[in-house]
Amino acid sequence: MKEISCKLLVIGAGPGGYVCAIRAGQLGIDTVIVEAGKPGGTCLNVGCIPSKAMIHAAEEFEKVAHMAGGKSPLGISVAAPTLDLARTVAWKDGIVSRLNSGVAGLLKKARVKTVQGWATFRDGKTVEVETETGTQVIRAETVVIATGSAPVELPFLPFGGPVISSTEALALAEVPGKLAVVGGGYIGLELGMAFARMGAKVTVVEALPRILAQYDAELTRPVLKCLGELGVKVLTGAKARGLTGKGDALLIETAEGEEARIAADRILVTVGRKPLTDGWGLEQIDLDRSGRFIRIDDQCRTSMRGVFAIGDVTGEPMLAHRAMAQGEMVAEIVAGHKRSWDKRCIPAICFTDPELVTAGLSPDEAKAQGIEIKVGQFPFAANGRAMTKMGEDGFVRVVARADNHLVLGIQAVGQGVSELSAAFGLAIETGARLEDIAGTVHAHPTQGEGFQEAALKALGHALHI
């Protein structure tokens, strides 16, 4: 049995883990990272990156299909397109592979030792790793748990056969003729809309009264409109109950309490994600929990000295960029720097069509805190760049304190608004006021002008509406 010692051991090479290890290596810390799969974790391998690749492919296919049907107002016509999903998946896999190699290269450049295998705790300073060449024991002064999350499986719809998670959905060899999506959150709608564009007949089943319930209704209205245009059937207040005996249909209970069947070749279950806390021997170190998650403080310290936890295993928001920021912070704390988690906001993006971005407080959230606010909203229907991209549905909205105009939150819905998230986060993080945004020269013609116009609107003198 081989043994190695290090100053820092990181368990999990997802976005949080690999960033933590790279930063630690840059700071001269003797670091080992353990990963059972490929570097990059869920996000790179079966989540953020591959899903966006498939969404892009679906959008491109739909554009060509519209041109072939004579529906394009651009005056472009082409022959009827076909889609080879296997080639699309191969292209997506190529992107993932290049990024896998990139992460591995960055770890090597930072002088981080990578151990391939599954880690199990012996105690708070020691883990055993089952590798291809046998058991490796690693002893560390400090341990970072970055084990991530996995799709939630419903007991009456276990994964297998026609029932798939987002992981299997991103590796299908052909487009399903009929797809039922259980769960109307961002994962279900991103993939559901992509498959609808590829030609699948999609039905979304959501138990709550409306889809994308974490966003306010005004933000999601353009998405609902697009779902209708794509022919996606949305059933809200409906509950999945299981499969038919033949496995060719989903059984549901409608909002009216009636039983119904939804014919489906595939049933995509996207009802959330759960922290990966089982199988790592965490019972050996008995960490305090917050519900299902590992409880941490504002430095990502757990209840055991010398053990940190970052990313999805620590709770919401379960976002890759949150994990990355935590990982960088923890590496610097281990190196002796004074750091703590004091982020004002973590932007969140839903890559539906149109896209949704939220940063900070919504109007309702601000009001619930008893804050008197000013709200400015600017429609993309009045934005030249949005019009030239045929992306007029949507808007930018700025929420600020009424007394001193401090920006509390920014939301947007529209084509390509994900790229505005950096500006939104920066404005809130730096304590910008409405006057700061309104007084910043925004390039023309861009959709970013909508941000400036929304601030002007809140101040009472928007220029283009």
Instruction: Judge if 21 and 38 occupy the same domain.
Output: yes
- Kindly state whether residue 68 falls inside one of the protein's structural domains: no
302 and 412 in a single domain? The answer is: no
SS3 (DSSP) at 172: coil
Are residue 313 and residue 361 in the same domain, yes or no? no
Query: pLDDT tens for residues 417-444?
Result: 999 999 999 999 999 999 999 999 999 9
**Residue 158 falls within a domain, yes or no?**
no
Structural domain contains residue 342: no
| Amino acid occupying residue 72 | S
Structural domain contains residue 58:
no
Active site residue 444: yes
Phi, psi of 138 (to 5 degrees): -120, 125
Q: How large is the average pLDDT for residues 384-396?
A: 96
Point out which residues pair with 399 in neighbouring strands.
Answer: 375, 409
pLDDT at 339 over 90: yes
Residue 317 binned pLDDT confidence (cut-offs 50, 70, 90): very high
Task: Look up the CATH number of the domain holding residue 432.
Answer: 3.30.390.30
- For 7-23, the pLDDT digits (tens) are 999 999 999 999 999 99
Confidence check: pLDDT of 1 > 90: no
Per-residue pLDDT band for 75 (boundaries 50, 70, 90) equals: very high
CATH number at residue 213: 3.50.50.60
User: Using one digit for the tens of pLDDT, what is the confidence trace for 212-236?
Assistant: 999 999 999 999 999 999 999 999 9
Domain boundary among 239, 271, 303: 271
**pLDDT-derived band of residue 374, with 50, 70 and 90 as boundaries?**
very high
Q: What is the pLDDT of residue 29?
A: 98
Q: Is residue 82 part of a domain?
A: no
Looking at every residue in the chain, the average pLDDT score rounds to 96
180 and 107 housed in the same domain: no
CA 220, 224, 225, 228: dihedral to nearest 10 degrees?
170
Together in a domain, 330 and 360: no
Q: Are residues 145 and 284 in the same domain?
A: yes
Kindly state whether residues 259 and 293 are assigned to the same domain.
Answer: no
Percent of the chain with pLDDT over 90: 96
Model confidence at 329: pLDDT above 90: yes
Look up the pTM and report it.
0.95
Give bridge partners of residue 301 from the DSSP assignment: 308
Spot the catalytic one: 66, 337, 442, 444. Answer: 444
Domain shared by 20 and 100, yes or no: yes
Written in H, E and C, the secondary structure of 226-244 is: HHHHHCCEEEECCEEEEEC
| Boundaries of domain holding 224 | 163-271
C-beta separation of 434 from 351 below 8 A: no
Q: Flag whether pLDDT at 373 surpasses 80.
A: yes
Q: Same structural domain for residues 16 and 113?
A: yes
What integer is the mean pLDDT of 45-53? 96
Q: How far apart, in whole angstroms, are the C-alpha atoms of residue 401 and residue 361?
A: 11
What's the average model confidence in pLDDT over 366-384? Answer: 98
| Domain C-terminal end among 307, 334, 361 | 334
* Helix, coil or strand: residue 64: helix
Are 259 and 296 part of one and the same domain? no
Pairwise CA distance, residues 312 & 299, whole Å: 15
- In a domain, residue 69? The reply is no
- Residue 441 located in a structural domain: yes
Say yes or no: 362 and 398 in one domain: yes
pLDDT for the residue 412? 98
List, in order, residues 6 or more apart from 133 with CB less than 8 Å away.
Answer: none
Helix (H) or strand (E) holding 8: strand 2-11
Q: What does the pLDDT look like over 76-131, one tens digit per residue?
A: 999 989 999 999 999 999 999 999 999 999 999 999 999 999 999 999 999 999 99
Token readout for 106 is 């960055």
* Helices within 389-459 (DSSP H only): 421-429, 434-438, 449-459
Indicate whether 243 and 295 sit together in one domain.
no
Domain count, the chain: 3
CB 154 within 8 A of CB 318: no
Residue 465 within a domain? no
Long-range contacts of the stretch 297-303 (C-beta < 8 A, 24+): 298/340, 298/341, 298/342, 299/329, 299/330, 299/333, 299/339, 299/340, 299/341, 300/326, 300/329, 300/330, 300/333, 300/341, 302/145
